[in-house]
Amino acid sequence: MTRRGVALAVCVAAGLVASGCTTASAPAAAPSSGTGVASAAPPAVDPTVLPAVDRGEVPMRLADGLAPPTNRWFSGLVFGEAPQPVFPLPLAVGLTASGFAYGLPTARAEGAVLAGPYDPQVQMDLREPVTGIVTGYDAATVSVDLVAGDARVLGTLHLTRGSPVLRYTAAGDQQLGLGVPFAAGGDGLPDDVAAADVDGRAHVLVGAGDLDVAAALDGAGTTLALDEGASVSWLVAPDAGEEPGALADLVEAVRDPVRGTVVGYETGAEQVTTSVTYETAGGGPAVVVRWPHQQDAVGGPDSTGDAETTCGLGTYATVRGTVETCLATTSAWRSPAREPVAGPDVSGLDDAARDELAEQVRADAATVLAEVRPADTYFGGKALARDADLWVLARDLGLDGVAADLRASVVADLRTWTEPDGCADRPERCFTWEPTLRTVVGQATSFGSEEGNDHHFHYGYFLYAAGVLAADDGALAADLAPVLDLLAADVAAGADVPVSDGAPVPGLRVLDVVMGHSWASGQSPFADGNNQESASEAVAAWHGLALWAAAREAAGLDDAGMGEQARWLLALEAASARAYWTDFDTTDPAAAGLEASVTSLVWDGKRERATWFSAEPSAALGIVVLPVTEVSTYLGEDPARVRANLEEALGTDDLWADPATWDVLFGDQLLMYAALLGPQDAASALDVARDLPGERIDDGSTRSRLLAWLLARAA
């Protein structure tokens, strides 16, 4: 492992932002790596009980003691031989050989791609070679020290997620090259700021506090003289807003820079509220934007007059849609609550339906019990979740012998997987501790899991299977807990988890709180930022987490708030899955020209109807539908959109004219999705499902699961 150390102290507070942390070499505050929820306590887990497997050197531009930020929107800054551009959004930022650059991406649609790539419009030059080292981060802010070859910190770049503001703090007296000429005042701006016209849009240079940047410019407006500790920001003006003098109001807010953020949430029976509070140097509001998934906005979970948000201050066209500019101390929004459900529900079936389903369960049970489940964490986890559902069906249909055999088989495999020292004795079906990335990895890897990829997808299946099987078996829950809790902490710890052998496991490892969804790539070696494909598997992960938390609670084990946090994550991810993957606003001008009803692969720099694994048209929809469980009803809240998505995926406007239409990849998942249209379509889907070729049943499901879902909805 390679870490670039710097002469800098980093403040770390478990789960809390270290506001006001300063050092002599970096006068501005640097956020800690406390990326979790303000009130969360680290779970009582110790991943070093697993065998340690160091999988080789991983180049990292990261200060010592910080948790490696895998699965983040800014991971590309840290990992890889060279830093990638990142997208705080609506801006995009890149490091250069002698400084940094930024631009406002232009969102353009072509075919099935809506792209807003990094375009470095303004470049800042420190006049000597530098390397960017991430020295602190929290849920929405990142600090990057720009370090010279002799380890001198020349300055610190500050990024804030969801803000059109970029900030830089000088670590010593310096002359900063600006790349484009800035001129004092103009267009109703104060005399102590400067602005540049870049492609017809104002970029405003603002000093923190009472710093007069106009006076610090040279005659050409291309060099800025900064004293040690001086902090300056670049604000890219939005398109005109509803409020007169909006740009001047934004400039005044920029004078009070963001130092860090704190996350909060509240869960209720109908709504779940998420909040991000921006801690500024003087306590004023931050300049932020409101994203499509945040439209049901509130003042905050503990709303006070200080949490007021003022919007209508202009807009930006982004790959996420048209976003509104706001001033806010706390950005908070509601998402519909989603209730976890353990397994299929056959309680409403009549005798004929029960008999038909029972026959299929017997057949499917005989098949799965004759097979050996896969040994890697993705397909192995899917098989365990599949067979846990099959056990629920057998139990609830009164097939006692079949249920007993299924339960014994799944429990035996769960016990094998959750032996803490299993990898000391065998090469597969076990977990290891990867000390470089500070993560839990299955010994038999898949889809780059050793790099941090897709852990929430994989581990969600294990958590679901364990939550279902241990729901009424406290002894089983207690036996599985030592390793299952590690899987839960790996992807969803509410706060940084201290580890005896070094840096912590990061809190909320995969969650982008501001964007309301997870990221799948561990190290994000891409010029378009991080990405996530199967948003539905992310939803399934939090569904599994909620069921596992319920099983622990029923067993009398302290869940340390895991259940409520899982419900928060479940609601948040489901809302964003609809907002950006399956149900986005196709009439938004920012998406004009997009020829896709589904964008199955979402990046920070683009959205596209594509997959990593197949060019089949059905794949793009199927991957954001599977695995269909009882919580998947969130996908059906707009029936007209469900139909449009299916027609696009299947290439027909008459879904039921030909059963062969469904003989496609993920045909079973799409039939279950179609049942969300209503009883008549569910009945048509049932007719097709009975004869659907066996190879069209996903390996994470069974025909029994398919029929159970459809029979319940066709009634």
Q: Which residues contact 556 (CB under 8 A, 6 or more apart)?
A: 474
Phi/psi for 167 (5° steps) reads: -130, 150
CA gap 130, 61 in Å, rounded: 12
CA gap 516, 508 in Å, rounded: 12
Instruction: Work out the number of other CB atoms within 10 angstroms of the CB of residue 693.
Output: 11
Q: Is the CB of residue 292 less than 8 Å from the CB of residue 324?
A: no
- pLDDT tens sequence across 393-427: 999 999 999 999 999 999 999 999 999 999 998 99
Q: What is the pLDDT of residue 299?
A: 63
Helix (H) or strand (E) holding 671: helix 667-674
Cis peptide bond upstream of 627, omega within 30: yes
- Count of structural domains, the chain: 1
Phi/psi for 143 (5° steps) reads: -115, 130
3-state SS class at 7: coil
Separation in Å, CA 566 to CA 340, 361, 466, 487, 661: 9, 31, 15, 13, 37
3-state SS class at 539: helix
Q: What are the start-end ranges of the H helices in 173-300?
A: 213-216, 246-254
Q: What is the pLDDT of residue 558?
A: 83
The C-alpha angle with vertex 246 and arms to 302 and 315, in degrees rounded to 5, equals: 80
- Domain extent, residue 43, equals 2-240
Q: Which long-range contacts (CB under 8 A, 24 or more apart) does 360-366 make?
A: 360/702, 360/703, 360/704, 360/707, 361/390, 361/393, 361/394, 361/397, 361/399, 361/402, 361/704, 362/399, 362/402, 363/703, 364/390, 364/702, 364/703, 364/704, 365/390, 365/394, 365/399, 365/402, 365/405, 365/406
- Which of 42-66 are b and which e, b meaning 16 or more Cβ less than 10 Å from the residue's Cβ? bbebbbeebbeeeeeebebbbbebb
Q: What is the pLDDT of residue 302?
A: 43
Helix (H) or strand (E) holding 326: strand 321-328
Q: What is the pLDDT of residue 242?
A: 58
CA gap 620, 136 in Å, rounded: 36
Cis peptide bond upstream of 90, omega within 30: yes
N- to C-terminal Cα separation, the chain? 59
Q: What is the pLDDT of residue 243?
A: 62
CATH number for the domain that contains residue 51? 2.70.98.30
- pLDDT tens sequence across 165-192: 999 999 999 999 999 999 998 778 999 9
Length of the chain counted residue by residue: 715
Which residue from 39, 41, 50 is spatially nearest to 558, judged by alpha carbons? 41
3-state SS class at 132: strand
Classify residue 702 by its DSSP letter.
Answer: -
Is position 317 within any domain? no
Q: Which residues of the chain have pLDDT under 50?
A: 1-30, 300-306
Q: Which residues contact 351 (CB under 8 A, 6 or more apart)?
A: none
CA 696 to chain centre: 29
Separation in Å, CA 446 to CA 79, 217, 371, 374: 20, 54, 20, 11
CA gap 560, 549 in Å, rounded: 9
> How do beta strands 271-280 and 497-499 pair?
unpaired
Is position 308 within any domain? no
Q: What is the pLDDT of residue 446?
A: 94
Q: What is the pTM of this model?
A: 0.93
Is position 411 within any domain? no
- pLDDT tens sequence across 236-288: 999 986 566 799 999 999 999 999 999 999 999 999 999 999 999 999 999 99
CA gap 290, 284 in Å, rounded: 18
Q: What are the start-end ranges of the H helices in 153-286?
A: 213-216, 246-254
CA gap 179, 485 in Å, rounded: 50
Helix (H) or strand (E) holding 189: strand 189-198
Which residue from 551, 379, 372, 529 is spatially nearest to 454, judged by alpha carbons? 379
Is position 432 within any domain? no
Burial tier of 283 (Cβ tally within 10 Å: 0-12, 13-18, 19+): exposed
Q: What is the pLDDT of residue 11?
A: 28
Q: Which residue has the tokens 């829950």?
A: 477
